[in-house]
């Protein structure tokens, strides 16, 4: 095989290692496809799962004929390929004949084990159609009794009382610090979280923070505390998932990191473009709420989804969710937040956070969520979005890097949340 640092039109191949209790299996398929774990199980009559290693670039190629290998049958229709033998290594060009010769032994076979991502249905464009799409999707799950309305179909945990109180307070234009302190004080765990949050080295407040009132007046401000308390209390409605993708960060670490990055981005924006800081923080904190909802409401399907995410780390979560669930976590999460009467700009921004060219109501907050996601996942940012939010790429990356530099402080905040939610 010849080395190619920048392969041209040849089809890139992806290598993934699977295993069960009796041994390992290597699968090879086009990088533009999704590995179908169910197809592998049907072909082998075994229940394989991805190995615990996680590489967005795929696993290293195991020497041919030293382990059982299944290759996607459709790659035989192509003429040229490129494949890499090491994680993050260079691609090497090869041909159909060379590939057939390389994997001609008794341990190898060509079978249909992947799905062309172009054939995967996309989510509906408008959030007004989400409920119908989710209901149709749930109708495919034989274990769920479909009813006329989504809230009747899903067994949704009740919204915590503290969240109800804070939502009501947020709609009261005359509410002040005393009112907010009184509401948070009704939930001692929530009050302790807010005080500890304000006391965190991340904010570097001088002296000790003794009360929620201190947290509001001296450190975080009324708007921030209200939205922080709302986000934390809503997170308590669901348990953090236990059978998620093994490469996925702690749910709260992901949420908190995103929230503080949103806060940093808003502060760096031109004043005239800025959304409310507290709302940006809350949207960041709840951006992945649909993930939490799926794990609680649909645990068997969440487990399957997690295994597919591990095996297809090169693909967007939206594609994998549409293939397995036929709706996305953004659709379910935003529907649930809307059902629970959260402010329109929060659930709208979350719903369209993966749509950089959304220009409807509350688009600025949605574009900030998109920007935060791209930055945290080292993905390319659409220059037009940066222009719309008023930041250069260098400014946006500086915000991300500043948050990363304080990761130890954020970890301590997350440990506190997990302790109090245990």
Q: What is the pLDDT of residue 249?
A: 61
Q: What is the pLDDT of residue 234?
A: 85
pLDDT of res. 3: 46
Question: What is the rounded average pLDDT of the residues 16-20?
Answer: 94
**CA 113 remoteness from chain centre:** 25
Give the pLDDT of residue 160: 85
Residue 4 pLDDT greater than 60, yes or no: no
Mean pLDDT over the full length of the chain: 89
Least confident of 70-74, 168-172, 285-289, 324-328: 168-172
Q: What is the mean pLDDT of residues 263-283?
A: 94
Digit-coded pLDDT (tens) for 153-164:
888 878 888 899
**Predicted pLDDT of residue 6:** 45
Specify the domain boundaries for CATH 3.90.960.10 within the chain. Answer: 2-119
pLDDT tens digits, one per residue of 239-253: 777 766 765 667 888
Residue pointed to by tokens 């250069």: 392
Residue 7's pLDDT is: 39
For CATH 1.10.3210.10, list the domain ranges present in the chain. 127-155+238-421
The topology (CATH level 3) of 127-155+238-421 is: Hypothetical protein af1432 (1.10.3210)
Categorize the per-residue pLDDT at 420 as very low, low, confident or very high, splitting at 50, 70 and 90. Answer: low
Q: Which residue has the higher pLDDT, 1 or 317?
A: 317
DSSP codes, 215-257: IIIIII-HHHHHHHHHHHHHHTTSPPPSSS-TTSPPHHHHHHH
Segment 112-139 shows an average pLDDT of 94
Q: Is 70 exceeded by the pLDDT of residue 5?
A: no
CA distances, 21 to each of 18, 152, 408 (Å): 11, 40, 37
So what's the pLDDT on residue 193?
86
- Beta-carbon contacts of residue 391 (< 8 Å; ≥ 6 apart): 265, 268, 269, 371, 399
What are the pLDDT digits (tens) for 310-326?
999 999 999 999 999 99
Residue 364 CB coordination number (10 Å): 18
User: 5 vs 15, which has greater pLDDT?
Assistant: 15
Is-contact 146 152, C-beta < 8 A? no
% of the chain residues with pLDDT over 70 = 95
pLDDT for position 2: 47
Q: What's the pLDDT band for 307 if we cut at 50, 70, 90? A: very high
Q: Which top CATH class is 2-119?
A: alpha beta
* Region 78-106 average pLDDT: 85
């Amino acid at each position: 095989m010849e080395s190619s640092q920048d392969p041209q039109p040849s089809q890139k191949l992806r290598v993934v290692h699977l295993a069960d209790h009796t041994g390992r299996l290597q699968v090879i398929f086009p990088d533009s496809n999704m590995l179908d774990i169910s197809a592998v199980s049907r072909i082998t009559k075994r229940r394989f799962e991805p190995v615990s290693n996680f590489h967005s670039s795929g696993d290293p190629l195991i020497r041919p004929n030293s382990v059982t290998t299944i290759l996607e049958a459709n790659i035989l229709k192509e003429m040229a390929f490129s494949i890499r033998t090491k994680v993050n290594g260079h691609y090497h060009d090869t041909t159909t004949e060379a590939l057939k010769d390389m994997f001609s032994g008794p341990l190898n076979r060509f079978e249909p084990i992947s799905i062309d991502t172009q054939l995967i249905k996309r989510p509906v464009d408008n959030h007004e159609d989400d409920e119908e799409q989710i209901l149709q999707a749930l109708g495919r799950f034989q274990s769920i009794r479909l009813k006329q309305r989504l809230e009747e179909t899903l067994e949704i945990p009740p919204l915590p009382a503290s969240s109800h109180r804070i939502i009501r307070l947020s709609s009261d234009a005359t509410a002040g610090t005393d009112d907010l302190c009184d509401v948070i004080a009704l939930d001692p765990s929530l009050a302790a979280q807010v005080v500890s949050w304000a006391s965190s080295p991340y904010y570097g407040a001088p002296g000790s923070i003794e009360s929620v009132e201190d947290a509001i007046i001296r450190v975080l401000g009324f708007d921030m505390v209200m939205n922080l308390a709302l986000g934390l209390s809503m997170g308590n409605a669901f348990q953090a998932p236990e059978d998620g993708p093994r490469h996925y960060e702690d749910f709260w670490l992901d949420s908190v990191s995103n929230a503080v990055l949103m806060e940093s981005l808003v502060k760096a924006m031109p004043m005239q473009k800025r959304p409310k800081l507290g709302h940006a923080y809350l949207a960041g904190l709840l951006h992945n709420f649909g993930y939490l909802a799926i794990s609680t409401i649909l645990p068997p399907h969440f487990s399957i989804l997690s295994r597919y995410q591990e095996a297809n780390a090169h693909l967007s979560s939206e594609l994998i969710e549409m293939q397995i669930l036929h709706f996305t976590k953004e659709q379910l999460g935003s529907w649930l937040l809307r059902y629970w009467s959260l402010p329109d700009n929060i659930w709208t921004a979350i719903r369209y956070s993966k749509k950089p060219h959304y220009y409807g109501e509350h688009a600025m907050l949605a574009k900030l969520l998109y920007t935060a996601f791209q930055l945290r996942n080292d993905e390319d940012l659409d220059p037009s979005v940066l222009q719309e939010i008023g930041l250069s790429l260098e400014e946006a990356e500086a915000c991300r890097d500043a948050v990363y530099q304080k990761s130890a402080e954020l970890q301590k905040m997350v440990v506190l949340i997990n302790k109090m939610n245990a």
